[in-house]
Amino acid sequence: MLDERKQKVLYAIIKSYIESAEPIGSRTLTKKYQLGVSSATIRNEMSDLEDLGYLMKTHSSSGRIPSDKAYRLYVDELLKIETPLVDQKENEEIKEVLSNESWDMDEIIQNSAKILSALTKYTSIAATPKLKNSRIKNIQLIEIYSMGVLVVIVCNNGIIKNSIYRCDLDITQDELNIISNYFNKVFKDRTMDEILNILSLEQFKEIYKYRDFLKGLVDVIQNSIEELVEIELYSEGLMNILNFPEFKDVEKAKSFISFIEDKDLLLNIIQNTSMSKGIDIIIGQENVYSPLKDISIITATYTLSGRTIGKVGLIGPTRMDYLNLIRTLQIFSSHVSNILDLGDK
């Protein structure tokens, strides 16, 4: 952990670089920010920060710029001190724009990517499950000796999902048939989304005597359905990256754009971030793909009936304005969730 003075110096450098994209030296830092110490002291602190891996020298000047390690500290620690506050004007603007959207989930999410990109001038992404056309045709529970129970889910589009529910409870095939038949009755004509919303023990009172067996089975079925759900990924504002000086190099920009246009690769990154409620940030070298080593990705989850179902996010250079963009995403994802809940009623 850095001491208070080093944190202040580093914070000032990060803030300056986010605003200008220009390396900063000790003299400029002293004039621009009231740090309460001499230029020589700041120069020593900057040297220490460089040795610790928080600052980097550039070839073009004697100034320094933040490293990915510095941004990670800024995100994880400094934002705890400077908690993003809701901007009421921005809040009302986002609410008004989104309120004019269709209640159809796919349209809301697709258009939300366009709106988010237009508001922030960054590249935006939105991931949404395609739930509305998927339905379960049949569920079968088959006893497998020494292994547990085979859970077979057959979808109306012909896809079959097999999962093993490992349990040592004494239950017969006849009892499994009773449970299967009950599930099929409850799930008939319901969409995947509807099934996930009702998938709880409280819904199965008629077969409650099997509650010990159902506890684990419900989790297996839920995980199976979630794996079956196809994810759609939308992106907008790809060319916005050209507005940042870091991507004036044509080849570098082309490499980034080609990567973002590969939705399978981008989706792989999004799916590997946390689906817990809140903000998730990947900074620079934390990305496993070379075209994204100078890129940060900020994502926020959105919900339907309190359940996390997708993500919206922003992509830009590592010197992103994290504080304001996090606030924007928090507001945005909250309004998207509210609209989806209203459309679901």
For 233-278, the pLDDT digits (tens) are 889 999 999 899 989 888 888 889 898 888 888 887 877 666 556 7
The domains of the chain are located at 4-81, 88-130+230-344, 136-228
CATH number for 88-130+230-344 (one of 1.10.287.3510, 3.40.50.2020, 3.30.450.40, 3.30.1130.10): it is 3.30.450.40
Q: Over the chain, what HEC string results?
A: CCCHHHHHHHHHHHHHHHHHCCCECHHHHHHHCCCCCCHHHHHHHHHHHHHCCCEEECCCCCCEEECHHHHHHHHHHHHHHCCCCCCHHHHHHHHHHHHCCCCCHHHHHHHHHHHHHHHHCCEEEEEEECCCCCEEEEEEEEEECCCEEEEEEEECCCCEEEEEECCCCCCCHHHHHHHHHHHHHHHCCCEHHHHHHHCCHHHHHHHHHHHHHHHHHHHHHHHHHHHHCCEEEEEECHHHHHHCHHHCCHHHHHHHHHHHHCHHHHHHHHHCCCCCCCEEEEEHHHCCCHHHCCEEEEEEEEEECCEEEEEEEEEEECCCCHHHHHHHHHHHHHHHHHHHHHHHC
Query: Is it the case that residue 96 has pLDDT exceeding 90?
Result: no
Q: What is the pLDDT of residue 153?
A: 87
Chain segment 173-192, per-residue pLDDT in tens: 999 999 999 989 888 878 88
- The contacts of residue 155 (CB under 8 Å, 6+ apart) are 134, 135, 136, 137, 161, 228
| Short-list 301, 313, 332, CA closest to 125 | 313
pLDDT (tens digit per residue) in 189-238 = 788 878 887 777 566 777 878 888 888 888 888 888 877 776 788 899 99
Could you report the per-residue pLDDT of 300-326, keeping only the tens digit for each?
988 877 777 788 999 999 999 998 899
- pLDDT confidence of residue 272: 67
What was the pLDDT predicted at 167?
84
| CATH architecture observed for domain 4-81 | Orthogonal Bundle (1.10)
Lowest mean pLDDT across 41-50, 126-135, 143-152, 246-255: 126-135
Residue 147, pLDDT > 80, answer no
What pLDDT does residue 342 have? 73
The order of strands in the sheet holding 148-155 is 136-144, 148-155, 160-165
Is pLDDT at 132 greater than 70 in this prediction?
Answer: no
Q: What is the pLDDT of residue 94?
A: 83
Which percentage of the chain shows pLDDT scores above 90? 32
Q: Which of 342, 302, 345 is nearest to 112 (CA)?
A: 302
Percent of the chain with pLDDT over 70: 88
Q: How far apart are CA 43 and CA 102, in angstroms?
A: 56
Local confidence band at 133 (pLDDT 50, 70, 90 cut-offs):
low
Q: pLDDT class for 117, splitting at 50, 70, 90? A: very high
Q: What is the pLDDT of residue 18?
A: 94
Better pLDDT: 5 or 288 = 5
Identify any residues that bridge with 135 across adjacent strands, giving them in sequence order.
191
Average pLDDT value for the chain: 84
Distances (CA, A) of 39 to 14, 60, 99, 327: 18, 21, 51, 34
Q: CA gyration radius for the chain?
A: 25
**CATH class in words for 136-228:** alpha beta
Alpha-carbon distance of 65 to 81, in angstroms, equals 22
| pLDDT at residue number 320 | 94
> Is the pLDDT reported for residue 81 higher than 70?
no
* pLDDT score for 67: 96
Task: Using the predicted structure, report yes or no on whether residue 297 has a pLDDT greater than 90.
Answer: yes
